[in-house]
Amino acid sequence: MSILSGKRILLVIAGGIAAYKSLDLIRRLRERGASVHAVLTPAAQHFVTPLSVASLSGEKVHTELFSLTDEAEMGHIELSRDADLVVVAPATADLLAKLANGLADDLASTLLLATDKKVLAAPAMNLRMWLHPATRRNISRLREDGVEFTGPEEGEMACGEFGPGRMSEPLAIVAAAEKILAAGDTAIPLPPGVGVRPNAKKSALAGKRVIVTSGPTHEPIDPVRYIANRSSGKQGHAIAAAAARAGAEVILVSGPVNIPDVSGAKTVHVETAREMLDAVRAALPADIFISTAAVADWRVDHAAEDKVKKSGDAPPSLKLVENPDILATVSQLDARRPKLVVGFAAETTDLIAHAQQKLARKKCDLIVANDVSAASGVMGGAQNTVHIVEAGKVTDWPRLAKEEVAQRLVALCAERLAERKS
């Protein structure tokens, strides 16, 4: 397994012809199990588009410092602190100069100044710019500040000149990132007594324990076949990540997914609904339980020990039995019931009515209802449109990136938890 597996990489893409290599870099990082959140400078958008970067990373791409949605949660600080490693590729002369001199006039330079993580830069520029005394001074200062570098390499430039200035190839950047992460702690320490004010406001869920279920379950028919659904786990994993950023101790119980584990959360991997329920029970007690997983409602009564073969006759009949109801089980516990129990209602018709019925039937505190019909693009997609259903109240949220849904939901859970104390 790669050292990058489960790591969160913040990729800053600056403006230069080498930006096209950043697309392959994203692919190489994700092949090794890393999640990639990308930031594009205004100049970078002349070479690669936010759409192409988002398509390859599977995550929202950030471009604006003063985004009203993101900055409501201090987005640039969150971006700079949530990563395990910051990679700048390509690192232009302009962006390196800003970092060396503490300038912060756009999103990329601001988060580079605000980060508490190691920075790996892959310079790319014309050879005369690379060899200029000002650039040499900036590189020397950045090395003293702890910035790591890979490249540049010698080669032919887009301008026709030959010499040092070509950005390192994506695999070389991946190798440099793995080396940094393998060395251990990538956090940059602050002087004693600096960083937290004595009376600073605590994170919204500091000291709280949150259990989140995510992804599908796989219910075996035989050793090679199973019953499942199209859940990608993106929404559940995003909720777990948001809860961890809010200061909670997070246990993520994940069905089979193809996305990295969440940094800052303890992940328990399961296959079936019964395994998921056992893992949730083992993680109790908790302050909040968020049941995001799309658990299979039924399983085969007795899975075959060997592969079921075609015989030329009628297809084999499968006797189905109902799986345990994880949400209802947790919601109806006595002493060990979490203070706040949140369920999801994934529906294709009569969304609000079904969600209201589920809220009453399962006896949970709120339901997050979303339309998962094929036309919605929610299953496996990057966005979601949800409705918050509580007793006597329905709140509609606009279509948002799944990460933004997660942030809003975690903030709402913290608010509801605080109300129960008052």
Q: How far apart are CA 383 and CA 377, in angstroms?
A: 8
Q: Which residues neighbour 319 within 8 Å (Cβ) at sequence distance 6 or greater?
A: 300, 301, 302
- The dihedrals phi and psi of 174, each to the nearest 5 degrees, come to -60, -45
Residue 216 per-residue DSSP state: B
**Phi, psi for 390 (deg, rounded to 5):** -125, 175
Reply yes or no on whether 413 is catalytic.
Answer: no
Structure tokens at 239: 């909720």
3-class secondary-structure state, position 51: helix
DSSP character at residue 59: S
CA distance 238 to 254: 12
Q: Give the separation between CA 170 and CA 160, rounded to whole angstroms.
A: 22
Q: Tokens 């893992």 — which residue?
A: 279
Among 72, 74, 131, 159, the one annotated catalytic = 159
Among 293, 278, 254, which residue's Cα sits nearest to residue 329? 278
Token pair belonging to 126: 């014309």
Cβ neighbour number for residue 254 with a 10 Å cutoff:
26
Q: How many Å apart are CA 39 and CA 57, to the nearest integer?
A: 11
- Give the residue numbers marked as catalytic: 159
